Amino acid sequence: MIKVIAVDMDGTFLDSNKMYDEQRFDKIFQQLKAQNIKFIAASGNQYAKLKSIFGERDMFFVAENGAVIYEGNTLYDYQAFDRDFYQAIIDYLNIDRGINNLIVCGLNSAYILKDNTDAFKKDAHFYYRKLKEIDSFQDLPEDEYVKIALNINRESHPSLDEDLSNKFSENLKLVSSGRDSIDLIIPGMTKGSALQRLLKYWEINEEDLMAFGDANNDLDMLQLAKHSYVMANSEDETLFKVANYVAPSHDEQGVLTTIEEKVLHPLN
């Protein structure tokens, strides 16, 4: 029996235009709520971005790849990096490797450099509703830092993944949120671990969890759920081996269709 549904956003719940059928979802959401089925948006995105997508709905948000959990407007749980260790990673990327296009993700806001290109700023503002421009990454504002986001140019930085893993070893994990987008997160602080904490709190078994994803940062979430769905549009072959089912693509509103057919109207 499905008691919890967790969905990734980009490439999963949202279509290629970053949209979804709001009227259809609202009807589904009300039906889920009437059946006491919890709905969770589980994403690498910032909480403020997720909130802008769903509005004032009584639901849970697993943001920043599992580092931050909100229940509606209330901060439920979070885990931040050690500040000195976090600064060392930033300095390595920014100073040693000459990478300026970083999004430094804090609990209160995300931060980019004032001298970043307009194109980068536009893209950053799309994904981070709370975003501030700062003069230097070596003088970070007071905040609790939960993630670093960047796009890796594989031609100019062919060994960056390996170099980061070797230099910061067990204290840093790299996950892909699609193509060249990389999130640097706290090991063990993932979407799957966030869902485990919530299931434990609710005293709900993993067998009652349905989850949808399309990228590497959805892997442990799909491994956790008995009712796991990889999106047909996914480019990650591993997910097709891990997930128990394949949902129609995000451009076919595969998440909504699957919920309707498998949860709300399973006998139709």
Give me the DSSP letters along 103-159: EEEESS-EEEETTS-HHHHHHHHHH-SSEEEES-TTSPPS--EEEEEEE--TTT-TT
Residue carrying the six token digits 């480019």: 235
Report residue 172 as tokens.
């840093």
Say if CB 105 and CB 149 are below 8 A apart.
Answer: yes
Say if CB 65 and CB 175 are below 8 A apart.
Answer: yes
Amino acid 179: pLDDT: 61
Active site residues: 8
Q: How many CB atoms lie within 10 A of CB 140?
A: 16
Element (H, E) at 24: helix 22-34
φ, ψ of residue 73 in degrees (nearest 5): -95, 0
Amino acid 175: pLDDT: 84
> Rounded distance, CA 27 to CA 38, Å?
15
Amino acid 180: pLDDT: 73
In single-letter form, the type of residue at position 67 comes to: A
Amino acid 36: pLDDT: 96
Helix (H, G, I), strand (E, B) or coil at 75: strand
Task: Please state at what angle helix 83-91 crosses helix 160-168, rounded to 10 degrees.
Answer: 150
DSSP type of residue 10: B
Amino acid 159: pLDDT: 87
The CATH architecture assigned to 83-185 reads: 2-Layer Sandwich (3.30)
Amino acid 186: pLDDT: 94
Output the CATH code of domain 4-78+189-264. 3.40.50.1000
Q: What residue spans define the domains of the chain?
A: 4-78+189-264, 83-185
Distances (CA, A) of 208 to 8, 124, 224, 246: 18, 36, 10, 18
The low-confidence residues of the chain, meaning pLDDT below 70, are 154, 177-179, 267-268
Residue 180's contacts (CB-CB under 8 Å, 6 or more residues apart) are: 151, 152, 153, 154
